[in-house]
Amino acid sequence: MATLFQPDPYILVLTGAGFLIALVAWLPLALKRLPLSLPIVCIALGAAIFSLPGVGLDPSPLAYPEFTERFTEFVVIIALMGAGLKLDRIFGLHRWQVTWRLILVTLPLSIAAITALAGTWMGLAWPVALLLGASLAPTDPVLAADVQVGPPKTGEEDEVRFGLTSEAGMNDGAAFPFVHLAIALSLAAATGEPWAMRWLTYNVLWEIGAGVAGGYLIGRAFGWVTFRIPAETKLAQTGDGLIALAATFVSYGLTEMIQSYGFLSVFVTALTFRHAHRSHDFHREMHDVTEQVERLAMMVLLLLFGGALARGLLEGLSWWDVAAAVVILLVIRPLTGLIGLWGFRAAPGEKLTIAFFGIRGVGSFYYLSYGLNHMEVTGAEHLWAILGLVVLLSVLMHGLTVTPVMRLLDRKQGRNPDAEGLPPPGLQGPGAD
C-alpha cells in the first residue's frame, strides 16, 4: 500500500504537465474580466508549489545560469514571432512613428536614467549599473500580452495596443548593444584594452544591420515558399501553423551564426513573412501555434520564478532597493515614455497608457543572465534580487490594472469590450487590409 502514496517522479511530471496545459487553455478565459493576469496566477502557483516540503529543486537563476539564459531566450524569440505576425499595420516610417519614438527616445533615456540610479543610489559599479539599466529598460514581449494587439486580421490595433506591441517586438534588439557596452566596459576595466571602435562598428552597426537584413531575407524566403511558390507544394497548403516555429528557429539560428542580433532578426522575419500575403487566413494558424507555445513556456518559466521568490530570491534587499524599484516603474518609465511621445498626435489618456504599461519581464531575465554569463560581476545575488523585485512589482501593478484600464480605453474608443466577434472596422490600423 505504501507504493500508492509514492508515485514515480515521471508520473508526477506527466500529471503536472497535464494540469499546466489545462490551465494554459482555461485561465485566459477565466481571467478575461477580472483585475488579474495570467502571470500573477503563475507566479503564485510557483511560490505555492516550491514552498511544499517535498519539493527539493532549487529554481534560483543563480543555481542554473546557463539554463536561465537559454530558456528565457527561447521564450522571447517565440513571443517576437507571434508579435510580428499579429501586427496588421503595414511597416513604414510614418505609420510606425509611435514605435520610433519609443525605441529612439524612450528606450535610451530609460537606460540612462536607470543606469544613473543604479550607479549613484544603489552604489553599483558603472558597467554593472549599465547592465542593470539595459536589462530593465525594454518593454517585455512576453508578459505584455494583455496590452497587445489581437490576432492577425482582427483589427484590434488602436494606437495604444499597436505602440506597445511594436515597441516590445523591436526594443529587445535595440537594447542589446547596451548590454554589450556593459560587457565591453567591464572587460576594458580589467584589461585596459580599447573598446569604443569595436563596440560601435561590430555590436552596433554590424549586429543591427546584419540582423535586420538577415531577418528580411529569411522572411522573404519563407513568404515565397509559403504563399507564392507556383506549385501545390506551397507551405500554406499544409494548414500547419508549426511553420511559424520553423521560421523562428531558422531566422534566429542563421543570424546568430553570423554574429548578429537574433531577436531583431526574428521580429523582422515575422513582419516580412506577414507582408508576403497580408490577407491570407494561414497567418492566424501560425499565430495561434506560436501563442500556445509561448503561453506554455511562459507559464513554466513563471512557475520557476515564483519558486525562486519562495526560496529567497529577494533576500538581502534594502528599503533603498525597494524605493529604487518603485522609481523605475512609476517615475522613469512613465516620464521617459511621455517625453518620447511629446508632440505625437494622440489623446493624452492614450499617451499616458502607453507610457505607463512598460511591462518588465522575461526579456529582463534574459539580458541579465546573458550579461552575468559574459562578464565578471561581484554581487550577482543582489542584481537578481533587484531585477526580480522590479519584475514582480511590474507583474502585480500592471496585471491588476491592465483589465480595467484597457476596458475603459475600449469604451472611450466606442468599442464594447464585452462584445463577441470582430471589432468595428474603424479600429483597424492604418494600412490594414
Residue pLDDT, tens place only, 57-100: 889 999 999 999 999 999 999 999 999 999 888 888 888 999 99
Give the per-residue pLDDT at 430. Answer: 35
pLDDT tens digits along 366-403: 999 999 999 988 889 999 999 999 999 999 998 888 87
Give the per-residue pLDDT at 367. Answer: 96
**Half-sphere exposure in the Cβ direction for 213 (13 Å, CA):** 9
Give the per-residue pLDDT at 433. Answer: 36
| pLDDT greater than 90 at residue 346 | no
Give the per-residue pLDDT at 143. Answer: 79
| pLDDT greater than 70 at residue 287 | yes
The angle at the Cα of 165, spanning 248 to 433, to the nearest 5 degrees, equals 85
Nearest to 400 by CA among 362, 357, 365: 357
* % of the chain surpassing 70 pLDDT: 90
Give the per-residue pLDDT at 337. Answer: 95
Decide: 361 and 394 in contact? Cβ < 8 Å: yes
Decide: 364 and 126 in contact? Cβ < 8 Å: no
More confident residue, 7 or 26: 26
Mean pLDDT of 316-321: 91
How far is residue 118's CA from residue 159's CA, in Å, rounded to a whole number?
32
Give the per-residue pLDDT at 156. Answer: 63
Give the per-residue pLDDT at 97. Answer: 92
Residue 429 banded pLDDT, cuts 50, 70, 90: very low
pTM of the predicted model over 0.85? yes
More confident residue, 411 or 206: 206
Residue 181 banded pLDDT, cuts 50, 70, 90: very high
The angle at the Cα of 420, spanning 415 to 426, to the nearest 5 degrees, equals 35
Lowest-pLDDT range of 149-153, 343-347, 371-375, 429-433: 429-433
Nearest to 44 by CA among 75, 68, 26, 23: 23
Average pLDDT, the chain: 86
Residue 32 banded pLDDT, cuts 50, 70, 90: low
pLDDT tens digits along 129-161: 999 999 999 998 887 777 877 788 776 678 888
| pLDDT greater than 80 at residue 304 | yes
pLDDT tens digits along 230-286: 767 677 777 778 899 999 999 999 999 999 999 999 999 999 999 888 888 888 889
More confident residue, 46 or 9: 46
| pLDDT greater than 60 at residue 306 | yes
Lowest-pLDDT range of 64-78, 84-98, 313-327, 405-419: 405-419
Give the per-residue pLDDT at 7. Answer: 65
